[in-house]
Amino acid sequence: MAKKSEIGKLGEDIACEYLINKGFKIIERNFRKPWGELDIIATDPGKFLVFIEVKTMRQSGNSAIAELRPEENLTAAKLKKLKRTASLYAGFNENLVNDKNGWRIDLVAIMINENENRDIKHFENI
């Protein structure tokens, strides 16, 4: 079984590929500071600065676990920390923030099943 960090890295790689195919430009990955972490920082096709949180799960045969969805792992506390970290990043990188649009936080939730098929859900402006 893959480690949590390996599944997380795989999920971020899948999310980047998905976003690029949707016209996003990846600016930075795995931005880490003592006060928080941002998985992916990108601009969408409209030049909107987007902070993307990625949640990835492997589906197993266990029926209780099979009912869980990756997006359910984004807690209110994690979202609060994300908003604070995104705000600080945007403040220090004002050149990336389009005055007309500002910035937003998206969630990309990825479920990988036993056959390695991927179910990707993109939630905008969470």
pLDDT digits (tens, 9 = 90+) for 95-108: 888 766 689 999 99
Does the pLDDT value for residue 87 go beyond 50? yes
Query: What confidence score (pLDDT) does residue 58 get?
Result: 87
Rama region for 36: left / alpha / beta (φ>0; ψ in -120 to 50; rest): left
12 falls in which pLDDT band (50, 70, 90)?
A: very high
pLDDT of 66: 55
Q: What's residue 65's pLDDT?
A: 53
Token representation of residue 108: 């990309």
Architecture of the CATH domain 4-123: 3-Layer(aba) Sandwich (3.40)
Q: Which helix (H) or strand (E) holds 109?
A: strand 103-112
Q: What is the full DSSP assignment across 2-71?
A: --HHHHHHHHHHHHHHHHHHTT-EEEEEEEEETTEEEEEEEE-TT--EEEEEEEEEE--S-HHHHT--GG
Percent of the chain at pLDDT above 70?
90
Distances (CA, A) of 11 to 5, 34, 69, 77: 10, 23, 14, 21
Burial class from Cβ neighbours inside 10 Å (0-12, 13-18, 19+) for residue 120 reads middle
pLDDT in tens, 28-78: 999 999 889 999 999 999 889 999 999 999 887 654 555 678 999 899 999
Compute the average pLDDT of residues 13-37. Answer: 96
DSSP classification of residue 126: -
Domain ranges of the chain: 4-123
Higher-pLDDT residue of 113 and 122 is 122
